Amino acid sequence: MNKGKTLLNSDSSRKVFASLLSIVIGLAVGALVAAIVGLSKDNIGGKGIWDGVRLIFLGLLSTGREAGQLTWGFNPSSWGNMLFRATPLIMTGLSVAVAFKTGLFNIGAPGQYLMGTLATLFIALEIPSEAVPPAIIWLLAFLGGMLAGALWGAIPGLLKAFLNINEVLACIMTNWIAANVVTWLFDISNLKNVAEGTKTGYIYKTTFNNVATSKMGLDKLFPESQVNGGILIAILIAIVVYIIMNKTTLGYQLKACGANRHAARYAGIPDKRNIILSMAMAGALAAGGASLYWLSGNTEFYWITYQALPAAGFNGIPVALLALNHPIAVVFSGIFMAMLNIVGQQLTTLTAYNEYITDVVIAVIVYLSAFSLVIQMWLGKRKAKKGGKTV
Amino acid sequence: MQSEYIIEMLNIRKEFPGIVANDDITLQLKSGEIHALLGENGAGKSTLMSVLFGLYQPEQGVIKKNGEVVTINNPNDATALNIGMVHQHFKLIDVFTVLDNIILGAEDTRMGFLQKQEARKKVEELSRRYGLKVDLNAKVEDITVGMQQRVEILKMLYRDNEILIFDEPTAVLTPQEIDELMATMKGFAAEGKSILFITHKLNEIMAVADRCTVLRKGKYIGTVNIADTTKQELSNMMVGRPVQLQVEKKDANPGDTVLEVKGLTVPSKIHKNDAVKNVSFQVRSGEIVCIAGIDGNGQTELIHGLTGLEKTSGGTITLCGKDISRGSIRYRSETGMSHIPEDRHKHGLVLDFTLEQNMVLQSFQSSRFQKLGFIKNDAVRAYADTLIEQYDVRSGQGPVTIARSMSGGNQQKAIIAREMDRNKPLVVAVQPTRGLDVGAIEHIHKELVAQRDAGKAVLLVSLELDEVMNLSDRILVMYEGEIVGELDPKTTTVQELGLYMAGAKKAEGGK
């Protein structure tokens, strides 16, 4: 059999194709919804629908509107903002993917993200930058955030390992505990932003203490955007995660425990330790996403979180699903999800539609990702007619 | 005109990439006969049955029922033709009751509500008629493997199947249960049901089958009348060369004590009583000590206590002069124990890993396979290739085959390759030949004897009386968690062994 044919028939290419197919269908359904909404509303009209549909597919390439017509081209601000927003998504996506690979469902990413937020902001704002160089504070805040997430993630791991409590339940509980702890601790802190006085309920940006992630030259590439070096750090971490999971004895053990805890135990692999470790790693990654997001210095944290969990945490699940839990693919799916976010923004500013259309797209994609096994099977069956299964 | 054959599979050919699984195979099942399908692991038996069940479509050949060509595109078509199958690995839902499992997929409903009363009556009637004792209200997870199999059989009967396929049905049964099953099968045949019996156990074929079709490496070798053949002839047909059915071994030459177990007690997970009660024994280098007994008399727990998979509540275990009673699993195995586990799917393999990943399951942390925590892929691949070659582990894609896709016999060979190559002074082998064909059994028996002759201490747990009598140098019989007798296979008889196993006889002190 020649190589090209093997590639087409191989399992992994089938998986990639299934993911791409769900993206295309997702966008198409989004366009369909836009059309239906447009037809039922008087203020949109045929041209409005056409603009909306084009933006759903190509929103990233939109440069605005001139003389009533959409204009297209390279929009550095859109690209930069996409990469900025992708950063936490990649990290929470990695978090969920690592747990999945080791047989655990980490639905606790939002809680871990919040604990990362808490530790990062406290460290970044409480250590005076007059006394300690900001770069050191940055590093401490980043590592401190990840450590906090690791400890928080380890709790469901401990419960699972020693008491055999389902990690999904424990994660949901720890999410809400985190939400309340974070609200309470910020409430009694002196970090509430009173300096600007324009809005309430926000914590100082880290730039208040002169701490912010280096731009690493990305602001030259994508001017007028929020992008910073965080995206490069996230990509680097994705590569490290890939290497750990696929090239090291640690990854081997974690995957063995995930795939068959009994066999791992039989071979003398400490199964309990590995379950805890894998949840701690997942926690550290999710929290690292929070650290990179807040350390950008661009954004301020709304501290009254006890009623809502951060979407960045939950969105790690579709990011990981779409990437089929492959760490490198998570980078792309994270960027893709962020792109949908930009598309939503463009829809809101440039048309009569709002950004919720993209929520439909994301929902359809997530739904289809769950179906990706069915799609793979369908693809496999088509090939099976020529003989495509091993004994 | 009524055909002589109820089911015919004529000139079936099925290819997979790189392998012809079935090459021009013909199988003709007469109405009311017990027809054995014999072949080694990987001979194409399962593929042929999958074709019959519509899971695969053959490239060539036709299937006929009562002389008429039928097309079977999926298992529903097969069910509609009254073909039923007991799979080697049962297809039951653990948390459902026996009755629910039997009616599943063929439930009676009235206005959307389940009607179980009729079903219960029908199942009870079937159960009485064929002597298939089951507890309809018990959950499947709580009943024995033997009873689970009876549930599977009742499932077929409940659906009024005429053609019953048994895929390796005795692999998981105790000797008594095997006898019962054989009687049941004969009863079915006497009633006119046609039975296809997939196996590689020659004794069973000789005992119940009327005719036997033999496959080897995907090819049809022949069909013989059991009355006109012998075990030796069948095994030669199956393996393609003369096979030794009897283990050949010299007298044992025991040396120093390698394993010393004193007063070992292991609590039961199910009952309040201890599963293993105050058991003491020794295994010396250069001997094979066999723990015989009927399944469920504490052998599993004894081995789990010994290997560290379960906590013990008393006693000491000394291995190579070191007290390992409180040691971790890793410490025990590093101190000098290799372990061929009872359940190869649960403990022996990570089924979703590749063959090569499984080969290093015990040793991936040795400096041979890792450097600074990074796995040396080349070393792993080379090692796996060597073991595959040396132990003749057959698989679709060599070292990168997913373990789940391999046949049971080759999975077991992979485990044995891994454990033997670790070269530890004590070899613990629990039912190492369960579910394997003669060729593989011969290989494994030779290997265990070779280990003994190389000065290893071998502790064997077996439910097969033949294996116990042939292989061991000393026999310890376990009954209800205690060692009730120590026998010398040279001076004892199968009957006497049976009495000890059934608890009817008990030696004083039982060393």
Q: Chain B: give the shortest CA distance to residue A272, in Å.
A: 13
Strands B83-86 and B109-110: unpaired
- Predicted local distance difference test score (pLDDT) of residue A70: 86
Residues B218 and B138 in one domain: yes
Q: How far apart are CA A208 and CA A145, in angstroms?
A: 18
Residues B198 and B312 in one domain: no
User: How many CA atoms, within 13 angstroms, populate the side-chain half-sphere of residue A158?
Assistant: 7
Domain for residue B388, yes or no? Answer: no
Q: How far apart are CA A134 and CA B437, in angstroms?
A: 71
Q: How far apart are CA B363 and CA A268, in angstroms?
A: 10
Q: Does B327 touch chain A (CB under 8 A)?
A: no
| Residue whose pair of structure tokens reads 């661009």 in the numeric block | A298
DSSP lists the bridge partners of residue B225 as B211
Kindly report each contact of residues A126-129 with a partner whose C-beta sits within 8 Å and lies 24 or more positions away, as own/partner: A126/A191, A127/A209, A128/A209, A129/A209, A129/A210, A129/A211
Concatenated DSSP letters of B30-80: ETT-EEEEE--TTSSHHHHHHHHTTSS--SEEEEEETTEEE---SHHHHHH
Residues B340 and B437 in one domain: yes
Residues B317 and B441 in one domain: yes
CATH number for the domain spanning B19: value is: 3.40.50.300
| Residue whose pair of structure tokens reads 């994301």 in the numeric block | A362
Are the CB atoms for B454 and B420 separated by under 8 Å? Answer: no
| Chain A residue nearest residue B348, CA to CA | A263
More confident residue, A133 or B43: A133
Planar angle of CA B6, B10, B15, nearest 5 degrees: 130
Domain for residue B296, yes or no? Answer: yes
- Predicted local distance difference test score (pLDDT) of residue B172: 66
Closest CB to B309 among A252, A266, A269 = A266
State the CB neighbour count (10 A cutoff) for residue A179.
20
Residues B214 and B332 in one domain: no
Residues of chain B falling short of pLDDT 50: 1, 509-511
- Nearest to residue B245, comparing CAs of B234, B256, B261, B253? B234
pTM (two decimals): 0.77
pLDDT, tens digit, 9 for 90 and up, residues A266-295: 999 999 999 999 999 999 999 999 999 999
CB contact under 8 A, A391 and B396: yes
Q: How far apart are CA A325 and CA A97, in angstroms?
A: 4
- Nearest to residue A207, comparing CAs of A220, A221, A196, A222? A196
Q: Which helix (H) or strand (E) holds B462?
A: strand B457-462
| Residue whose pair of structure tokens reads 């209800």 in the numeric block | B480
Residues B53 and B122 in one domain: yes
Interface size between A and B, measured as CB pairs under 8 A: 85
Residues B16 and B154 in one domain: yes
Give the pair of three-digit tokens for residue B347: 């403990």
Domain for residue B372, yes or no? Answer: no
Q: Chain B: give the shortest CA distance to residue A70, in Å.
A: 51
Mean pLDDT of A70-80: 90
CB contact under 8 A, B16 and A389: yes
Residues found in chain B: 511
- Predicted local distance difference test score (pLDDT) of residue A244: 95
Q: Chain B: give the shortest CA distance to residue A285, in Å.
A: 21
Domain for residue B393, yes or no? Answer: no
Are the CB atoms for B242 and B461 separated by under 8 Å? Answer: no
Determine whether A50 is exposed, middle or buried from the number of CB atoms within 10 Å of its CB (0-12, 13-18, 19+): middle
Dihedral angle, C-alpha B384, B386, B387, B392, nearest 10 °: 120
- State the first-to-last Cα distance of chain B, in angstroms, to the nearest integer: 68
- Predicted local distance difference test score (pLDDT) of residue A388: 40
- Nearest to residue A375, comparing CAs of A100, A96, A25, A105? A25
Residues B211 and B262 in one domain: no
Q: How far apart are CA A350 and CA A338, in angstroms?
A: 18
Are the CB atoms for A248 and B369 separated by under 8 Å? Answer: no
pLDDT at A8 over 70: no
Q: Does B23 touch chain A (CB under 8 A)?
A: no
- Predicted local distance difference test score (pLDDT) of residue A373: 65
- Nearest to residue B333, comparing CAs of B422, B247, B230? B422
- Nearest to residue A254, comparing CAs of A282, A240, A275, A280? A275
CB contact under 8 A, B373 and A263: no
Give the pair of three-digit tokens for residue B377: 């892929």
| Chain B residue nearest residue A269, CA to CA | B330
Amino acid at B271: H
- Predicted local distance difference test score (pLDDT) of residue B174: 67
Residues B235 and B261 in one domain: no
pLDDT, tens digit, 9 for 90 and up, residues A328-378: 999 999 999 999 989 988 888 888 888 888 888 888 887 877 776 677 767
Closest CB to B373 among A248, A255, A269 = A248
Q: Chain A: give the shortest CA distance to residue B375, in Å.
A: 5
CB contact under 8 A, A248 and B353: no
Domain-by-domain residue ranges, chain A? 3-74+372-384, 88-332
Q: Chain B: give the shortest CA distance to residue A337, in Å.
A: 30
Domain for residue B386, yes or no? Answer: no
Q: Chain A: give the shortest CA distance to residue B470, in Å.
A: 29
Residues B18 and B130 in one domain: yes
CB contact under 8 A, B330 and A268: yes
Determine whether B92 is exposed, middle or buried from the number of CB atoms within 10 Å of its CB (0-12, 13-18, 19+): buried
- Predicted local distance difference test score (pLDDT) of residue A381: 64
DSSP lists the bridge partners of residue B163 as B83, B194
CB contact under 8 A, A387 and B16: yes
DSSP lists the bridge partners of residue A192 as A203
Q: Which residues of A touch B (CB under 8 A)?
A: 1, 247-250, 252-253, 255-256, 259-260, 262-270, 387-391
- The domain tally of chain B equals 2
Phi, psi of B26 (to 5 degrees): -120, 130
- Predicted local distance difference test score (pLDDT) of residue A358: 82
Q: How far apart are CA B346 and CA B340, in angstroms?
A: 12
Closest CB to B396 among A255, A265, A390 = A390
Tell me which residue range forms the domain holding B24. 5-239
Residues B49 and B90 in one domain: yes
CB contact under 8 A, B348 and A263: yes
Closest CB to A391 among B19, B330, B352 = B19
Residues B197 and B167 in one domain: yes
Q: Does B22 touch chain A (CB under 8 A)?
A: no
pLDDT at A3 over 50: no
Strands, E assignment, A112-261: none
Q: How many helices (H) and strands (E) does chain A have?
A: 17, 2
Q: How far apart are CA B57 and CA B60, in angstroms?
A: 9
Q: Does B397 touch chain A (CB under 8 A)?
A: yes
